[in-house]
């Protein structure tokens, strides 16, 4: 019988954020209408001031560090294929500026090579 009660009970509904936003927009529009009713120049002044403040706050907002790209790692690049390999030589890419070509040799097989392209490490 407890299962039937659970099915019939409705979960609590949370208020909609869109509904709250609509209420705030309506109140802001009504307040702006009052400002324009007082004086047209005063209404324009309020709109320009509000826009300037909004633009200033947006420009001053700092970007979080979580969206920043990680700093480049020092040394040669690492991938699953070249892990544990011995570095043979590093040459700049002739076709792409800032790219390096790493030539490595797997352990125990000195005559085989693995090539890995990576961006140049800035120090």
User: Which residue ranges make up each domain of the chain?
Assistant: 17-62, 86-119
DSSP 9-54: SPPPPPPPHHHHHHHHHHHHHHHHHHHHHH-HHHHHHHHHHHHHHH
DSSP 55-68: HHHHHHPPPPGGGS
Write down the pLDDT at residue 91. Answer: 79
Judge contact between 35 and 42, C-beta under 8 A.
Answer: yes
Tens of pLDDT along the chain (123 residues)? Answer: 555 555 566 767 777 788 889 999 999 999 999 999 999 999 999 999 999 999 999 888 876 666 555 554 555 556 666 667 777 777 777 777 777 777 888 777 777 777 767 765 544
Write down the pLDDT at residue 69. Answer: 54
Residue 90 backbone phi and psi in degrees, to 5: -125, 125
pTM summary value: 0.40
Q: Which residues contact 117 (CB under 8 A, 6 or more apart)?
A: 93, 96, 99, 100, 101, 102
Write down the pLDDT at residue 57. Answer: 92
Write down the pLDDT at residue 123. Answer: 44
């Amino acid at each position: 019988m407890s299962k039937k009660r659970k099915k019939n009970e409705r979960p609590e509904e949370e208020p909609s954020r869109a509904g709250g936003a609509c209420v705030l927009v309506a109140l802001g529009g009504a307040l702006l209408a009052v400002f324009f009713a007082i004086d047209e120049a005063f209404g324009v002044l309020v709109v320009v001031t509000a826009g300037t403040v909004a633009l200033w706050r947006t420009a001053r907002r700092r970007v979080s560090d979580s969206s920043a790209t990680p700093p480049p790692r020092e040394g040669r690049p690492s991938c699953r294929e070249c892990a544990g390999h011995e570095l043979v030589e590093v040459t700049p890419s002739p076709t792409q500026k800032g790219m390096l070509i790493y030539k490595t040799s797997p352990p125990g097989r000195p005559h085989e090579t693995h090539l890995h392209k990576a961006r140049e490490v800035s120090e």
